[in-house]
Amino acid sequence: MTEKDNTACAYVEDQGSYRETRCQFEGEPVTKFDGSRWCQFHLPLESFDGVHRSAKANWSGEQVQSFDKAVKKIIDESLANGTEANLRGVVFPTHVDFTKQTFPKVDFDYARFPGGANFQSVTFSAMASFKSTNFHGQAMFQYSQFMSHAAFKSAHFHDDAFFHEARVQGVIDFEKVIFGRYAFFEAATFKDAALFESVVFERDATFDRCGFDVPMSLSGAKFEGDVSFSYSRFGRPLWIFGGFVRGDSQANSFRMIKKMMSDIHHVTEQGRFFALEQRAMLFTNTFESRNPLQLVRALFDKLISAGYWLISDYGFSPTRSVIAFVIVFAIWAGLVYPAHEATSAGTYDTVRFTFLQILRPFQVLISSDITRDAFPWMQTALANHPISLRTFAALQSALHLTIFALFLLAVRRRFKM
């Protein structure tokens, strides 16, 4: 039964502390259901006890289209007037499609989407709020653009949530959100803080190839499924001409996430955030101490960390290891090449001896028949430069062994063996 009068809608949103928000759609026709009167926007689909269903749950296609047009009219008028589209608490009758819609500042707090909610390729030109919103069907925000802040605090995604290739310019807040099924964030870009504090991921979460200009926050998050951050980028470049940029906050964020990955026994992602932590610490200014020993130790730690980064990106780049291997090989060959006359035969012997150093590490440190008979020129060189040549040879063997070990580690991580 619909009554075209000014009787107030029964919708009340309790915000605590003696504050409450009532229906914003004044003058709308009201419908009696479950002992109360409701406007078409706030009319629930079922009674409070879940026993009875309202007429809205059985609306015809024409009625649903009329409802959708009314919602889009609110959005378009707000966009034209530069005001907020207030859609708080709206209960949609079925799935809704906003594909490629441009939104003004919009408020979907406490709204209910019983079917799929399609926000693909949408542009949110101002603040977008989905606090305590319930998405019972698939929530599709892929390719959407958030030009300002976005708030999903305490929202509940009962089905899959798609945010891949979304572009977020402002802070996006997923605090206390429940992702009941799969959460997809592949290739999304976050220009400001991405807050996933106290989030519950009940199934797998994918953040592959994401770009986080500011390290994301996962404080208190709970992962009940798998999680992946493959090929994601964290933080803006930390080097600026003229000095180091402090990376303390970044390192702390990565350390926290690393601990979380350790708690859920996700070895690959734990290693990834260890690498990010070390990279952030590499660009942290730790040369403020006046204690000479501490300065030497800090410099040594940074040199080791820088070498680990350059050679294998902390065990995540087999390509870097191969390049480093070839560079060390070439440097060593260049050092021993002048040991005899520069002939074509000498070049061949140099390469051959360098390979021997790889296959038989530290061979040059001992007097052997192989070195004496196959490389007589090396015996002469060792006699002329007994300490320096042996030192460089030992360093070359140690570097090649180290690089080879890091290469195996990177390959293992790449293929998750």
The CA angle 5-8-13, to the nearest 5 degrees, is 155
Of 150, 98, 115, nearest to 129 (Cα)? 150
CA dihedral 212, 217, 222, 228 (to 10 degrees): 20
Please give the backbone phi and psi of residue 53, each rounded to the nearest 5 degrees, phi first.
-110, 145
The amino acid occupying position 144 is S
219/256 Cα distance (integer angstroms): 7
195 by Cβ neighbours in 10 Å (0-12 / 13-18 / 19+) ranks as buried
pLDDT at 1: 40
pLDDT at 96: 96
- With beta carbons less than 8 A apart as the criterion, state whether 107 and 86 touch: yes
Q: What is the pLDDT of residues 244-253, one digit of tens each?
A: 344 556 677 7
Regions of the chain short of the pLDDT cut 50: 1-6, 16-18, 237-246, 342-345, 370, 417
Furthest-apart CA pair in the chain: how many Å? 109
The CA angle 36-37-39, to the nearest 5 degrees, is 140
Q: Number of C-alpha atoms within 13 angstroms, CB side, residue 91? A: 15
- 333-338 long-range Cβ contacts below 8 angstroms, 24+ apart: 335/392, 336/378, 336/381, 336/389
pLDDT at 97: 96
CB within 8 Å of 26: residues ≥ 6 apart: 6
pLDDT at 364: 61
**Rg of the chain, C-alpha, whole Å:** 32
366/134 Cα distance (integer angstroms): 74
pLDDT at 218: 87
